[in-house]
């Protein structure tokens, strides 16, 4: 395994940030609310703004089919960020009603300094990554 080359201080590079949350039921309003909360926390904990986003992939478990998580992201004003929704594979015994996010971003942070966000019961998916991270000023647009 090779070690990534170090970058100049202040230089931005492409990073990936993961996250997940669980909703109580397959309700469009709950899916929207949970998606907005998850995206907000990902941006906040990593000090990111809309301009830092390259693309976002959303997955939802088979039992969430009433709304697209990407539609909630559009309500945040992410109109020019490529978004994709897809179905999570249905592994027996896996956590139900989960929305997952893989966001590609520009960041000056090294990969090991990125804060992945697992909210509520979804924290069980990655307990090694679920510790709360320091929060910064809100990156969400006014009124969102």
**What domains are there in the chain, each with its CATH number?**
14-127 (3.30.1330.40)
Of 1, 11, 12, the closest CA to residue 54 belongs to 12
- Residue 18 dihedral angles phi and psi, to the nearest 5°: -105, 160
What does pTM read for this prediction? 0.83
* Per-residue model confidence as pLDDT tens digits over 5-26: 455 556 789 999 999 999 999 9
H or E segment and range at residue 45: helix 28-46
* Per-residue model confidence as pLDDT tens digits over 87-111: 999 999 999 999 999 999 999 999 9
Using a 10 angstrom Cβ sphere, with 0-12 exposed, 13-18 middle and 19 or more buried, the burial of residue 123 is middle
């Amino acid at each position: 395994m090779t070690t990534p080359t170090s970058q100049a201080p202040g230089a931005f590079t492409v990073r990936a940030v993961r996250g997940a949350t669980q909703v109580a039921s397959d309700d469009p309003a709950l899916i929207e609310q949970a998606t907005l909360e998850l995206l907000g926390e990902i941006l906040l904990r990593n000090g990111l703004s809309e301009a830092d986003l390259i693309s976002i992939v959303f997955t939802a478990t088979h039992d969430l089919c009433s709304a697209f998580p990407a539609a909630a992201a559009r309500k945040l004003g992410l109109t020019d960020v490529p978004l994709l929704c897809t179905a999570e594979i249905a592994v027996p015994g896996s956590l139900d009603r989960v929305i997952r996010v893989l966001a590609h971003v520009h960041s000056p942070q090294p990969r090991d300094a990125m804060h992945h966000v697992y909210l509520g019961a979804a924290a069980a998916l990655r307990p090694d990554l679920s510790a709360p991270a320091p929060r910064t000023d809100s990156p969400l647009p006014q009124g969102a």
